[in-house]
Chain A
């Protein structure tokens, strides 16, 4: 029983890390209807920039701020070169554009900083705590706290500020939002920059755990089922989805894996997401689309 609980909590805490990446997705989807496949590459780009600056002797907060500025510049470039030209095009077109974008950002990150693996130490020990006989990783708890903080912050941004209201208007109907005088380009810039910030936080935490390397951009593939279970438009959904995916994937790997050959972590979240969707086609917290002819 104790072993089960340990696997479960380990999975839940790993799930929080997935949620962090998924939140970046949700932000952009919510504000612009763009299904941003490049979020994983942005995580890689941010983490690689941050760690490379650290290695060149820039102090922690300096590197953090410089990386943030870099991500904002990246957001500005994306808006200027890509999004501006694709206003009001079909969601599939926008998705494919972000697919192309992910190639560019990945290539750029590695062209500038090289392709080797960097170790990242952000000063949090990975010593396990014992709570009611269950071992909990201190690092995972810290990550969970960060994710919680982000959710509160972003919830405030979306629900209480003028920018948040404008973002939701844009998500609802781009052309109508333009017509009532919302500055679409500025909003996109803000939201992509915020997504870059979330990407940086996710990249720092993931990088501290598994090292900063190319595989960071593949986390996007883990974040997809999270997003699909939670629904594309809900930050709470991303958190809940992350917890579900993290926990079930670890449980499946430990308890079902040995029976059918192991390595099922790769596809299990997708099958799980598919099952969820058969019951709720728009995810747990997603907005149901209304169709008119």
Chain B
């Protein structure tokens, strides 16, 4: 209601847009256009550029295969993020979980999935259940292995560390938003000899994952998961679109840097982007 009251005081830009939102809306349309173009091309069976290999994603099969051979479980955590906090990373984690759950179901490997958010718990339960169903092994689904532990950061961390010591998972997959608990998880899993694949867009936690884990997905790589793992051309198209959008943004940054360094008094690029 406060926002609505504030908005009433402002005059709309071009009679339609909120203040400062016109340029953002145009950028949104440009990104949508790029992704749409590539998705349409892929859908039509036309050639789209190749995407680079992401080692962390390729290693998922290896990690689950190793757990299967050793007869030990796989652990998956989406971190502390929830639907009101770093939700985009949670959505990235859902893509991973469905793939991991399907592989675990296929190989008859136990999957332990721990949660710190009850909304995410409900979604993850559904994802795992569906993955077991799609793999043709609904009987192997154990609801007790999808656990809510605590929404308190260190209570959750201690619970997961205890689980590592007790269950000794052979693979530990951590994808999502992590804070100080990241190293507690990674080091404890390392002590029990688990192969570790981690991924986050939290730049403060990346150094911990890089030092402690076998494979680390950095920032945007986690968002590529479901598209990359699906191996579907349409999804690949959206990934290429993501890369093109990034090139566009970097071109804008370079243009802005050049203009700023030329000593131009009125930077037209800044003026346009503030519209």
Asked if A and B are interacting partners, one says no
